[in-house]
Structure 1
Amino acid sequence: MDSGPETRPDTRPEPDVVRLGLAGVGRIGALHARNLAALGPGDGNLPPVQLVIADAAAERAHTVAHRVGAASVPSVEALLDEGIDGLVIAAGTPSHPDLVRMGVDAEVAVFCEKPLAGDTAASLPVLEYVNARGGVVQMGHQRRFDAGYLAAKRLLQAGGLGWVHSFRAVTADMEPPPVGFLASSGGLFRDCSVHDFDILRWLTGREIVQVYAVGSNKGDPEIGRVGDIDTGLAVVTLDDGTVGTVSAARYNGSGHDVRLEIAGSRSTLLVGLDDTMAVRSAEPGVDFPSGRPPQSFADRFEAAYRAEMAAFVELILGRRDNPCTPADSVAASRVADAAQESLLTGLPVKLG
């Protein structure tokens, strides 16, 4: 599985303070702002982080900056003029290609929320640009830092499940994001299931070679009018013949539900099985799970998002290799594109 030539920045003396610029403080950007501002010695003995924020909406940047004790500037160009060590991109997807190029040209490490661009065709020139210039770009797939997925990877690598014959992945939001976001998100498989496609590649070390997708709309008709669905299911096949399903939903009243069941010849493992799981049992006398389910992706992956930002600082400092390269993200996006194509054509789509 090719993750590109990128490794880590050149080794250099560690600074007393790491200066980071954050571009975009919408829903995910505000979450990153809180986590970045809180990073420090307690997170793997990291140096303190000094944060500077920019957003197209200057008042929003100022408000978030004030809330987390950061500074704000009027533009990304001004961020780069601040002498930052790393640029975190959490602006809208259409801006990702230009912002990544700006960070690479400024010779700073870049963190970019997925995806690299709106689809694979638009991502490839950016990937080539990064590689040609030796850029360091970490992509945002936070599940790689979640304790359950990390434990599953260790068990898989140790052969604890035997040979894997199937899997079932679930990602379900409690309620849909604004229709305005969905109009430019690329569709349910690209903005939601892409996380499942990425984690399957990462966990198994295999490539997804075929996708067959179906979907429906039973909620807000505006979602359909902007070309999206609110429920989707993809049957996927890995290059070793393992089969599985990846389902996604925008209306899950029980809470935010993210799970992955991996079934092997020796044992079956379920990531996301705890007392906060967003399901109810129909069996008499069973009161599990009884905890409060997460209400959003930020609740479900709170610790993972913080660990992801800590990993980016470690990457800047030269302490680790890149945990998620642009090539990894593009590979997951290719599968999401194939799922979207299958949804539109009604036919299975093979990936080269």
Structure 2
Amino acid sequence: MRIGCVGLGRIGTSHVQTLRAVPGVSEVVVADVDGRRAQGLQAAAEEHLAAVSAVPVEALLTADLDGLVVTTGSAAHGTWVRAAVDAGLPTFCEKPLATSLTEILEVAEHVRRSGVPVHVGFQRRFDAGYRAAAEAVRSGELGFVHTLRGVASDMLPPAADFIPGSGGIFRDCLVHDADVIRFVTGREVVSVYAVGGTKGADFFPAAGDVDTGAALLTLDDGTIVMLSTSRYNGQGQDVRLEVHGEHGTVAVGLDDSLALRSVEPGASQPAGPVHTDFYSRFRPAFADELAGFVAMVGGSPSPCTVDDALEASRVVEACDLSRREGRPVLMSEIPSALPAPATS
């Protein structure tokens, strides 16, 4: 099959190389507003690797594709998803589905009406550790689950010019935790209380953002979830989850590359090279995620639907509101659908 990819920054370029090795993909057709990026990725087919060809951005949707991968800047995601489903193309879109909750609601409704499958990129669903944790919950191995604790910290902060358009730390970073909590537990968030602060660069508060945040979530069965995130963890990329249950606890991310140093005598953590960014932390998950997308193009269900993406976005919208107003927020306060059209 022929898969298109629009947007050839770091994640898009990586996805193109990954797609070349996915069974069933014969060609990856790439496009970018900077045509030189697309031309530079062209490659002939090799053993076990698909060919890469380049077309102008305006020609991509008419390039006889079987599916489309959207890795443009976030502000263009919604436009591309709408156009792709209107063209009947099964689509993979990196998160976020759009940059505002209102537009996410609009895009989700547009996709539902189209009937065309869309897979939104929350790669933790494909990480072996998170999948094992979800199975431990669903199998009953842990008994009832009472508490989850999640950590997501970057080794280094992003560039200053990224922050104003990022949506803030909850929408940019904690949205992955919001999604994977639903994936692991099978439950919905009913309330949140969030805080944040800045001890690092001045460009965070200048953009109305913080460099560190934390959220306390309550799920619909009473389970308590504690999440923290930061732009600063100089030792490495630290992404973990603990799931505490009646019969025991499981942990995701406690491997030899854990970016956390034990001070206990005789302990040797980390035992190997640490992860330095999100891509090195989740490289196998990204590969499995794109294989899941190709399977969806072939007729399998979407592994992460627009409705899943909407719910994660609603949770972080509530977190941001809670931080700004200094109060708990009920999920019922956050819109879950577009308002009904006014009647005359």
Residue of structure 2 aligned with 1:192, choices 148, 173, 177 = 173
AA matched with 1:311: G
Match of 1:71 among 36, 53, 58: 53
Find the aligned partners of 1:172 and 1:64 in 2 and give their Cα distance.
31
Q: In 2, distance between residues paired with 1:227 and 1:113?
A: 24
| Length-normalised TM-score, structure 1 | 0.90
How far did 1:74 drift? 1.7
The question of whether the paired residues in 2 share the 8 Å contact of 1:21 and 1:87 is answered with yes
Equivalent AA in structure 1 for residue 10 of structure 2: R
- Tell me how large the CA RMSD over aligned residues is: 1.4
Q: Which amino acid aligns with 1:121?
A: T
Aligned to 2:10: 27
Report what 1:278 is aligned to.
Answer: 259
Question: By how many angstroms is 1:177 displaced?
Answer: 1.7
Quote the Cα distance in structure 2 between the aligned partners of 1:49 and 1:90: 20
Structure 1 contact 119–334 (Cα < 8 Å) conserved: no
Residue 333 of structure 1, aligned match among 313, 316, 328: 313
**Whole-angstrom CA distance in 1 between matches of 2:241 and 2:222:** 18
The runs of 5 or more residues in structure 2 that have no matched partner are 45-49, 333-344
**What residue in structure 1 maps to residue 135 of structure 2?**
154
Contact 2:69–2:92 (CA under 8 A) maintained in structure 1: yes
The counterpart of 1:51, out of the listed 28, 35, 39, is 28
Q: Pairwise mapping of residues 145-184 of structure 1 onto structure 2 (< 5 A)?
A: 145-184=126-165
Counting aligned pairs with the same residue, the percent is 46
Cα distance in structure 2, aligned partners of 1:277 and 1:334: 30
Q: Which of 318, 323, 329 is equivalent to 1:349? A: 329
SS of residue paired to 2:268: coil
| Stretches of 4+ aligned residues off by more than 3 angstroms | 64-69
- Which string of whole-angstrom CA distances, capped at 9 and with x for unpartnered residues, describes residues 99-139 of structure 1? 01110111010001111111222111111111112121111
In structure 1, what is the equivalent of residue 223 of structure 2?
242
Q: 1:66: Cα distance to partner?
A: 5.1
Using the TM superposition, name which of 285-294 and 195-204 deviates more.
285-294
> What is the number of residues matched between the two proteins?
327
SS of the residue corresponding to residue 151 of structure 1 reads helix
1:101 to 82, 85, 98: 82
User: Is residue 36–residue 49 contact of structure 1 (8 Å, CA) maintained in 2?
Assistant: no
C-alpha distance in structure 2 between counterparts of 1:188 and 1:69, whole Å: 37
What is aligned with 2:199? 218
Deviation at 1:34, TM superposition (A): 1.4
SS of residue in 2 equivalent to 1:171: strand
Q: Is the 8 A contact 2:194 2:322 kept in 1?
A: yes
Give the conservation status (yes or no) of the 8 Å contact 1:86–1:316.
Answer: yes
Counterpart of 2:335 in structure 1 is none
> Is 1:111 aligned to residue 92 of structure 2?
yes
Q: Which has the higher contact order (CA 8 A, sep 6+)?
A: 1
* Shift, 1:347, TM fit: 0.8
TM-score w.r.t. length of structure 2: 0.92
Using a 3 Å threshold, how does the CA distance of structure 1 residues 65 and 235 change in structure 2: closer, same or farther?
A: farther
Shift of 1:69: 5.3
